[in-house]
Amino acid sequence: MIQLSDHFTYRRLIRFTMPTIIMMIFSSIYGIVDGFFVSNFAGKTPFAAVNFIMPFLMILGSFGFVFGTGGSALVSKTLGEGDTKRANKLFSMITYVSIGVGIVLAILGCVFIRPIASALGAEGEMLELCVIYGRIILAALPAFMLQMEFQSFFVTAEKPTLGLVATVAAGVTNMVLDALFIAVFDWGIVGAAVATAISQLVGGILPIIYFSCKNTSLLRLTRFSFDGRALLKTCTNGSSELMTNISMSVVGMLYNLQLIKYAGENGVAAYGVLMYVSFVFQSVFIGYVVGIAPIVGYHYGADDSRELRSLLKKSSVLIFVSSIVMLLAGELLGKPFSIIFVGYDAELLELTSRAFAVFSVSFLFSGFAIFGSSFFTALGDGLTSALISFLRTLVFQIAAIIIFPLAWGIDGIWWSIVAAEVMAVIVTLFFLILKRKKYKYM
């Protein structure tokens, strides 16, 4: 069995991170299946409504990433220091606090979802569909947050394969229920929401059961005493992931506003397809950084600068190779993926295919920025990580999405994503050079 304390060769690094990569890819695939059934069986307007309200739902769900990435960085560092008992107490506290936060956010979300959807520009039938879909999803928000959180903690517990099993169980549940509720029972957007909510319950509750029982992993849910300082450190460490998800959601809302202006409902639908499919590609990078973060945190806690240097070098090589493959795959598969979703509408298909051809260029750069932010989170430097994420997902994209369409119209919207990723890589390199002496990874 591969342990966090091991020296990681390329082969061992790939073997250890592969379950989380597959887990993230599978998560994105069952999201695609959800979109496929809504688009093809419920129609273009429900599909646009789902994608219109999704950024708001993801803002709330992203708190699960805060507790997961920030908490796993702290727990893995504590394990590296040799204090297993405290690591389990921290893990337990973070888990139970996240459940409470999830319940509060779910209630607030249900109350304010209508005025928020309306303020974002939804009206008429789309507004009603946004509210219906959103409230059903929010009922399972605490479980969804746990599902996101345990993606990181399973890796920290040296059980990445179990994280994959939990994700597959949730994904299969969602896909089967999508087919049943939407295609067979004809429940439309309600069926899609119920299927997703049930799958999130599966993904969140199974890990709770595992960690509550005696197990062979490094972690187990135990009694704990509240540690406000550790909780603050967790939130600080995970702030970059929160910033990333909030920024992506806010930018997603801005994209929808611009797309309605330049291309109407077709633009929102095309952007929805783009996000669904692109996440399959991005999930390779995300899965890798989720998998490697506890390794980095452990060796930082053990003060092993030699292994940190090795991890940074090997990760850079792996991400570079993956980026080339992603670009080529995106250019080749963009149109076939678009046909799956919107092949029934020639105008929408052309718009979506063109968008994906441009967007695929961003894969050449995004992996490095995603890794850089996660790397600093694992080192406990939440501020630097948050700054990279803030610039990448909010500042650069907002500036580009406002300026580029003025010169290039609808194509400017797609190219703005590429421009933001290029700037993010430059910023990431700057911080890696700036912080090299402090963390001794170069």
CB 153 within 8 A of CB 221: no
pLDDT category of residue 322 using cuts at 50, 70 and 90: very high
> pLDDT for 380-415, tens place per residue?
887 888 888 888 878 888 888 889 888 888 888 888
Q: Please compute the mean of the pLDDT values over residues 35-64 and round it to a whole number.
A: 84
CB 322 within 8 A of CB 24: no
State residue 197's pLDDT score.
Answer: 95
User: How far apart (Å, rounded) are the C-alpha atoms in residues 239 and 429?
Assistant: 20
State residue 308's pLDDT score.
Answer: 92
Residue with tokens 């169980």: 169
CB 382 within 8 A of CB 239: yes
Check pLDDT > 90 for residue 331.
Answer: no
> pLDDT for 31-42, tens place per residue?
677 777 887 888
Q: Please compute the mean of the pLDDT values over residues 260-266 and round it to a whole number.
A: 73
pLDDT category of residue 58 using cuts at 50, 70 and 90: confident
Helix orientation angle between 382-390 and 239-301, rounded to the nearest 10 degrees = 140
Q: Looking at the domain assignment, is residue 317 inside a domain?
A: yes
Residues spanned by the domain of 187? 10-439
State the sign of the Cα–Cα–Cα–Cα dihedral 74, 77, 79, 81.
Answer: negative
CB 282 within 8 A of CB 329: no
- Count structural domains, the chain: 1
18 or 272: which leads in pLDDT: 18
Q: Looking at the domain assignment, is residue 325 inside a domain?
A: yes
Which amino acid is residue 43, in one-letter code? G
Q: Looking at the domain assignment, is residue 5 inside a domain?
A: no
Which amino acid is residue 294, in one-letter code? P
Q: Looking at the domain assignment, is residue 133 inside a domain?
A: yes
Q: Is the pTM of this model over 0.75?
A: no
User: How far apart (Å, rounded) are the C-alpha atoms in residues 116 and 122?
Assistant: 9
Q: How far is CA 274 from the centre of its chain?
A: 15
Helix orientation angle between 44-61 and 124-138, rounded to the nearest 10 degrees = 40
35 or 214: which leads in pLDDT: 214
> pLDDT for 110-134, tens place per residue?
999 999 999 877 888 889 999 999 9
Check pLDDT > 90 for residue 359.
Answer: no
Mean per-residue pLDDT of the chain: 87
Q: Looking at the domain assignment, is residue 305 inside a domain?
A: yes
In 3D space, the residue among 358, 362, 336, 331 whose CA is nearest the CA of residue 349 turns out to be 336
In 3D space, the residue among 334, 332, 331, 299 whose CA is nearest the CA of residue 315 turns out to be 299
Q: Looking at the domain assignment, is residue 233 inside a domain?
A: yes
CB 150 within 8 A of CB 163: yes
State residue 98's pLDDT score.
Answer: 96
Q: Looking at the domain assignment, is residue 1 inside a domain?
A: no
User: What would the two tokens of residue 215 be?
Assistant: 């197990």
In 3D space, the residue among 442, 439, 435 whose CA is nearest the CA of residue 388 turns out to be 435
> pLDDT for 137-168, tens place per residue?
999 999 999 998 998 899 899 898 888 889 88
In 3D space, the residue among 219, 240, 253, 207 whose CA is nearest the CA of residue 89 turns out to be 219
First-to-last CA distance in the chain?
A: 29
State residue 402's pLDDT score.
Answer: 87
State residue 265's pLDDT score.
Answer: 67
State residue 203's pLDDT score.
Answer: 93
What is the chain's length?
442
CB 97 within 8 A of CB 67: yes
197 or 377: which leads in pLDDT: 197
pLDDT category of residue 270 using cuts at 50, 70 and 90: confident
State residue 236's pLDDT score.
Answer: 84
Q: Which DSSP letter does residue 304 get?
A: -
422 or 44: which leads in pLDDT: 422
